[in-house]
Amino acid sequence: MHSNNLPSLTYDFNSSESFLTRISASAKIMLVLAFALCIALLSSVSAQLFLLGYSFMLIFLAKIQLRALIKRVLSLDGFLIFLWLTLPFSGPHGVELALSITIRTHAAVFAFMALLGTTSMGELLYGLRALAIPQKLVLLLHFTYRYARVFVEEAEKIYTSMTLRMFHPSLSLGTLRSYGNLIGMLLVRSILRSERVAHAMELRGFDGSFHFLESPASPKEGDNFRLGVLYILLAGCFIL
Amino acid sequence: MTSFLSLQNISFAYPSSEPLFSRLNLNLYREGKIFIRGRNGAGKTTLFSLIMGLLKPTEGSILLEGNPIKTKKDIRHLRRKVGLLFQDPDDQLFCPTLLDDILFGPLNLGMEKEEAMDSAMKAMKVLNIVSLASYPPYALSGGQKRLGALAALLSMKPELLLLDEPSNGLDEEAWENLVSVLQKLPIALVIASHDIPFLEQVTHKGYEMKKGYLLSLN
């Protein structure tokens, strides 16, 4: 396979089959949305701690590799350190607020990793269509995912050609102008590429509807019961 | 022999530019592998875009099996029979996995899922890329992407393929693999390229594009 130094855009954190990989993508999307709603709306620390525990359970159920989990948590905590360095000194409830944000972000990241990180992009797009999300939005998500790497590669190519011609970023108008050129060139190239992709689609009979491959779920006996328990636990936490 | 695709007195100019073609004629047949070569900017890609209906000639007509291409319906009919391989396969592979991409055309043509899958598998077997089916296109090498884009066209069962600089950016192994694949393909090809060794191995005759005209080279 092609190898380069770009960060991987795939987000399969587990290689083994689990209950969460067997259930349908649309059920996982609904669950993660419900979870996101709960974690955003519930303000009591005890409820947030419950949801953190719930997200840990999801991680366990999804059989996520520990190394992948630690990597993500460390990159998240890198941002949260700045929060802890400033927020506690900003007012009487600073520590409480910083703690709440820390719990919420960790819970949200764990839940998204467990539920969406175990879903392939094809399944996710199919799941969104099954939930009657407008096709235009689904296609927008799909093309963003597909061309994010190409976009990064284009930016790297331009930046490399700048550095090879002795470009050193500094606090100057010249640097700003160079970055402006880079962004402008990326924009132009993106427009041209989007035109070519549209042509390629048109030439292969695209008429406005995208026939995504069906990714039927293959739940085993008891999987739907387990899914029901997850929904009930979440609903119970929200009600209480 | 009656020509499959015929370009008659085609003229074309981009807005605010000198005419690129002036009364150009070309006949393409259902058999044979031919090349079109010419300097950068000579109009090879533009010629393919005109054939496929992506650009409109300012003058002249294009005939498919003797019938002029006039309406959108005619263009759709032409695109069922003629496939175009782009210079950059990243422009042509836009689905979550390679298999989705190869199925994209057949499903749009109205094939049933089983039939489309059968056609996709046949195309992948011909190009020996069945093992790549579940990979996302961005994870493939340049040569694999090129074969994937070719499979996406073959699965639509075209009668003529237009290949725009197919050997661009390929390493020696991928280059040789593509040569061997194209030599064996039982389908008419028109290849636009400056890669003379590649053209010598795959095609048997061709044209030089110069100042808006096609000069026959044998």
Instruction: Give the model's pLDDT for residue A15.
Output: 52
ipTM of predicted assembly, 2 dp: 0.78
Rounded to the nearest 5°, which phi and psi values hold at A175? -65, -45
Per-residue pLDDT of A30-78, as tens digits, reads: 999 999 999 998 888 888 999 999 999 999 888 888 888 888 888 888 8
Query: Across all residues in chain A, what is the average pLDDT?
Result: 83
Min Cα–Cα distance to chain A from B127, Å: 17
Q: CB distance A213–B103 less than 8 Å?
A: yes
pTM equals 0.75
In chain A, which residues have their Cβ closer than 8 Å to the Cβ of B103? 211, 213
Indicate the residue of A9, A122, A211 with minimum beta-carbon distance to B107. A211
Question: Which of A39-43, A67-71, A233-237, B23-27 has the largest mean confidence?
Answer: B23-27
Residue A221 confidence (pLDDT) above 80: no
Instruction: Give the model's pLDDT for residue A100.
Output: 92
Instruction: Give the model's pLDDT for residue A6.
Output: 33
Instruction: Give the model's pLDDT for residue A161.
Output: 80
Per-residue pLDDT of A9-31, as tens digits, reads: 344 555 567 778 888 888 899 99
Residue A3 confidence (pLDDT) above 80: no
Per-residue pLDDT of B181-195, as tens digits, reads: 999 998 999 999 989
Between CA B31 and CA B76 the distance in angstroms is: 22
Residue in chain B nearest A205 by alpha carbon? B108
Q: How far is CA A86 from CA A55, A73, A78, A96, A107, in A?
A: 27, 20, 14, 13, 22
- Residue with structure tokens 């190009």? B127
Q: Do B23 and B60 form a contact (C-beta atoms < 8 A)? A: yes
Helix, strand, coil fractions of chain A, as percent rounded to 5: 70, 0, 30
Per-residue pLDDT of B145-159, as tens digits, reads: 999 999 999 999 999
Per-residue pLDDT of A139-195, as tens digits, reads: 888 888 888 888 898 899 888 888 877 788 888 888 898 899 899 999 998 999 999
- If you write DSSP's letter for every residue of A191-217 in order, what string do you get? HHHHHHHHHHHHHTT--S---PPP---
A232: left (phi over 0), alpha (psi -120 to 50) or beta: alpha
- Find the mean pLDDT for residues B197-206: 93
Between CA B116 and CA A92 the distance in angstroms is: 65
- Band (pLDDT 50/70/90 cuts) for residue A130 is confident
Residue in chain B nearest A200 by alpha carbon? B92
